[in-house]
Amino acid sequence: MMLSPQLFHKILGVTFFLLPLCAQASKPVADGEMGDINHQLERRISRLEGVLRLEKMITESGGKIFAISGERADFNTTLQKCKEAGGSIAAPRNPGENDAIRYFVKTFNTYAYLGLKESLIPGKFQFLNGTKLSYTNWHLNEPSGKGEEGCVEMYTDGTWNDKRCNQNRLIVCQF
């Protein structure tokens, strides 16, 4: 294909117009820092995580991030708030995740509802989507509600108690 002098001139003009813009877009790189955009973003995110950790707003376990909203609410409001934030109510799958949630309960001395519910069989609990629990951390003699306590709260020592769903508890979400 033959390039007309007019088209060639146009391309040249556009190129030299765009070049400084591209250079500017990739400019904000500190001295001695790698120009790699992924590296910059990772640095930015880890600094933001540092702030959130400092403010006791997030914990992490196995790649899962747990976060508080700073409010308390009943179980259904907690579900709603976590969903609005793009997450879901915290549901521990192992001791590490349980400990990451316990950190908030202990720090703010306030029990938290977990993302668990009683199944159709009284005293049997499951994840909210019906999945069977492979890890539990019941307090001694819990669950005790026999169908009357459909939610699960975490005590300050990290153990669980089945509880009615209408109490005000610390909102802890997972992302």
How does DSSP classify residue 107? Answer: H
122 near 146, Cβ under 8 Å? yes
137 binds ligand MMA (CB under 6 A): no
Q: Which two tokens stand for residue 12?
A: 């040249």
Does 161 contact Ca ion by CB under 5 A? yes
- Nearest CA to 116 among 138, 83, 92, 134? 92
Using CB under 5 A as the binding criterion, the count of chain residues that bind Ca ion stands at: 5
Query: Least Å distance between CB 49 and ligand MMA?
Result: 35
The residue type at 111: Y
Query: Rounded to the nearest whole angstrom, what is the least distance from the CB of residue 113 to ligand MMA in the complex?
Result: 12
Report 155-174 residues binding ligand MMA (CB under 6 A). Answer: 161-163
Q: Does 149 bind ligand MMA (CB under 6 A)?
A: yes
For the CB of residue 153, give the shortest distance to ligand MMA in the complex, in Å: 8
Query: Which of 162, 58, 175 is CA-nearest to residue 113?
Result: 162
Cis status, amide bond into 143, omega within 30 of 0: yes
Q: Footprint of Ca ion on residues 117-156 (CB under 5 A)?
A: 144-145, 149
Among 82, 91, 142, 151, binds ligand MMA (CB under 6 A): 142
Closer residue to Ca ion (CB): 107 or 144 = 144
Q: How far apart are CA 6 and CA 1, in angstroms?
A: 14
- CA–CA separation, 104 and 70 (whole Å): 10
Cβ neighbours of residue 157 under 8 Å, at least 6 residues apart?
102, 139
The single residue among 39, 124, 144, 157 that binds ligand MMA, judged by CB under 6 A, is: 144
Smallest distance from the beta carbon of 173 to ligand MMA, in angstroms? 23
User: What residue ranges bind Ca ion (CB under 5 A)?
Assistant: 144-145, 149, 161-162
User: What residue ranges bind ligand MMA (CB under 6 A)?
Assistant: 142, 144-145, 149, 161-163
